[in-house]
A and B are shown apart, each in its own frame.
Chain A
Amino acid sequence: MKPFQLFLSLAGMWREVRTLIIKDIKLEWRQRYSFSGILLYLSSTIFLIYISFIEMQPTVWVTLFWIILLFTSVSAVAKSFIQESRARMLYYYSIAHPRAVILAKLIYNSAMMMLLAVVGMGLYILINQSPISQVGYFIGVVITGSISFGLAFTMMSAISSKATQNATLMAILSLPFIIPVLLLLIKLTQTALLDHIEIFPIRDFSLLFALDVIMVLLAVLLFPYLWRD
């Protein structure tokens, strides 16, 4: 009986999460200006990089790509909790479990970051001449990295939405948290510059994965406390 009940409660949780994700997508579609604003921010930064640098060294190319994505994701994820009005949060509180709310936000933000990162990568390669020789590997690193960004920033957005001047605070709080992830990603991307990958950097990937797991666990465990006001 016990495993069956567990399965039922998990299924119920998943239903809530799915509804909340669909709600987020609908809201995003109704407020298209904010997402297109982020896209415009991303593309104008990439264009700015193109005008400022005539010719880039490969390491500079890699580092700048991740820095651009970093600041784009701060502004993209920041809105996920800060944008929600107090009354609407109270409404979610009455209809959904807090863990379902944070899980939905984590999944939604990672998916959104993935989309932004892939678009950003396409534009960046198109405009600035790419030194990448391992394209498939590079796409893999970009997707994993953008998921990490989405996961790490979601909880920071929730925390900073509780404080005043939250948009500035969000950047201050999350940048030190993301430094280890950023360094790992830059290191991983540098492997994509090689003509031939001899040793697949499995240890760095698993470290990145471990950091992701820590972030998700912390968010799921701590969000219920943050939520009640």
Chain B
Amino acid sequence: MSIFKKYWWKGLSIILLIYTIIAGFLMPSPALPILRDSIRNLYFHVPMWFGMTGLLLGSCYYSLRFLSKNTLKLDIYAAASARVGLFMGILGILTGMQWARTTWGAWWTNDPKLMGSAVGLLIYLAYFVLRNSIDDIDRRAKVSAVFNIMAFAIFIPAIFIVPRLTDSLHPGNGGNPGFSAYDLDSNMRIVFYPAVIGWILLGAWMTSLTARINIIETRIRAGEGIFHSTTPHKEVLDSSIF
């Protein structure tokens, strides 16, 4: 029973994603001009951005917690969330490019939303460059936490606010019909909402796996005395820190 309590959300993620894939491809879809069956991409492209935003929010939260608590575990979790968030963002761009090719006729357009997400990805790539350029793990944790909070504060206006102010090809912007105009068809809604939850849970699961692997790696390296740290190695090894 306790196992069920601990792991129910992982099971839920698997069930929801299997449902998303089966129902997403087999359920009837509204026959709209131009969009046609490519509308099924809604279950994959849009949840990627939900997942990415959620994970980056989580990463920012861990960084804020790190600045007040100063435990390395929080820094590792922040980095893992950002890494999985970046991965989902790249998947979001790829699925979006595919969709744009089918409906707008080009892999990449000069759309403010595309610009915003490209800027967001560049900022988070810079975050990993910054992390890897600092050897001292305590200093790396502190500096990258500060950068991560700034990155999130710029990422949100870049991806959500700026595109809404100008014309965009995306639904709901610049005179295009909003999101709800498409999924007025309730058949789509009963697949879309579970899909969002399923992908977000999968992202959280991937984050926890990445973070746990990183914690083990850090411990091993601390034991071998490979990296430079002002914290004594014994203290890093001590499980109370993690």
- Chain A contact residues, CB within 8 Å of chain B: 155, 159-160, 162-165, 169, 172-173, 175-177, 179-180, 183, 203, 207, 210-211, 214, 218, 222, 225-226, 229
List 5 A-B pairs, Cβ < 8 Å.
A172-B129, A173-B129, A176-B122, A180-B116, A207-B162
Residue of B nearest to A161 (CB): B143
Interface flag for B72 (CB, 8 Å) = no
Q: Does B106 touch A at the CB level, under 8 Å?
A: no
- The count of residues in chain B whose C-beta lies closer than 8 Å to any C-beta of chain A is 27
Instruction: Tell yes or no: B219 within 8 A of A by CB.
Output: no
Whether A163 and B126, one on each chain, are in contact in the complex, defined by CB atoms closer than 8 angstroms, is no
Query: A-side binding surface: helix, strand, loop or mixed?
Result: helix
Task: Decide: A179 and B122 in contact? CB cutoff 8 A.
Answer: yes
A176-B119 in contact given A214-B157, A225-B146 (Cβ < 8 Å)? yes
Chain B nearest CB: distance from A132 CB in Å?
24
- Chain B interface residues toward A at CB < 8 A: 67, 115-116, 119, 122-123, 125-126, 129-130, 133-135, 139, 142-143, 145-147, 149-150, 153-154, 157-158, 162, 165
Identify B158's interface contact among A162, A173, A175, A180, CB under 8 A.
Answer: A180
Q: Please give me the residue from chain B that is nearest to A168 by CB atom.
A: B133
Q: Give the complex CA separation of A210 and B119 in angstroms.
A: 18
Q: Contact: A225 with B142, CB < 8 Å?
A: yes
Contact assessment for B162 and A173 in the assembled complex, using a CB-CB cutoff below 8 Å? no
Which of the residues B119, B133, B146 comes within 8 Å of A164, measured between beta carbons?
Answer: B133
Please determine whether A225 and B67 come into contact, CB atoms closer than 8 angstroms: yes
Q: How far is the CA of A28 from the CA of B171 in the complex (A)?
A: 52
CA distance A24 to B122 in the complex (A): 33
Whole-angstrom distance between the Cβ of A187 and the nearest chain B Cβ: 9
Q: Out of B119, B130, B147, B149, which one reaches A180, CB within 8 Å? A: B119
B134 engages A180 (CB within 8 Å): no
A163 CB contact (under 8 Å) in B115, B119, B143, B157: B143
Instruction: Please judge, given known A-B contacts A164-B135, A214-B154, whether A222 and B130 are in contact too, CB under 8 Å.
Output: no
Q: Is A222 within 8 A of B149, CB to CB?
A: yes
| Bound: A172/B123 CA distance, A | 9
Residue of B nearest to A223 (CB): B146
> Is B119 within 8 A of A218, CB to CB?
no
Question: B76: shortest Cβ distance to chain A, in Å?
Answer: 18
Residues of A within 8 A of B134 (CB): 162-164
A162-B116 Cα distance, complex, nearest whole Å: 28
- Cross-interface CB contact of B143 among A179, A214, A218, A226, cutoff 8 Å: A226
9 closest Cβ pairs, A-B complex: A176-B122, A176-B123, A163-B133, A162-B143, A222-B146, A226-B146, A163-B134, A179-B119, A173-B126
A180 and B142: CB pair below 8 A? no
Nearest-neighbor residue (CB-CB) of B144 within chain A: A159
13 extra interchain contacts, Cβ-Cβ under 8 A, other than A169-B133, A207-B165?
A: A155-B150, A160-B130, A163-B143, A164-B135, A176-B123, A177-B150, A180-B154, A203-B165, A211-B157, A214-B154, A222-B146, A225-B145, A226-B142
Q: Is the CB of B130 within 8 A of A163?
A: yes
Q: How far is the CB of B124 from chain A (nearest CB, A)?
A: 9
Q: Which residue of B lies closest to A160 (CB)?
A: B130
Q: Is the CB of B139 within 8 A of A229?
A: yes
Q: How far is the CB of A199 from chain B (nearest CB, A)?
A: 14
Task: Kindly identify which residue among A169, A172, A203, A218 contacts B149, using a CB–CB cutoff of 8 Å.
Answer: A218
A165 touching B165, Cβ below 8 Å? no
Residues of chain B lying within 8 A (CB to CB) of residue A173: 126, 129-130, 147
* Cα separation A72 to B119 with both chains bound (whole Å): 21
Output the least CB separation between B239 and chain A (Å): 26
Taking CB atoms, residues of chain B closer than 8 Å to A210 are 157
**Residues in A neighbouring B142, C-beta threshold 8 A:** 225-226
**Residue pair A169, B150 in contact (C-beta under 8 Å):** no
Q: By CB atoms of chain B within 10 A, which of A159, A163, A183 has the most?
A: A163
Closest B residue by C-beta to A169: B133
Alpha-carbon distance between A62 and B125 when the two chains are bound, in angstroms = 29
Query: What is the bound-complex CA distance between A164 and B228, given in angstroms?
Result: 14
Residues in B neighbouring A226, C-beta threshold 8 A = 142-143, 146
B67 contacts which chain A residues (CB < 8 A)? Answer: 222, 225
Complex contacts, A164 vs chain B, CB 8 Å? 133-135
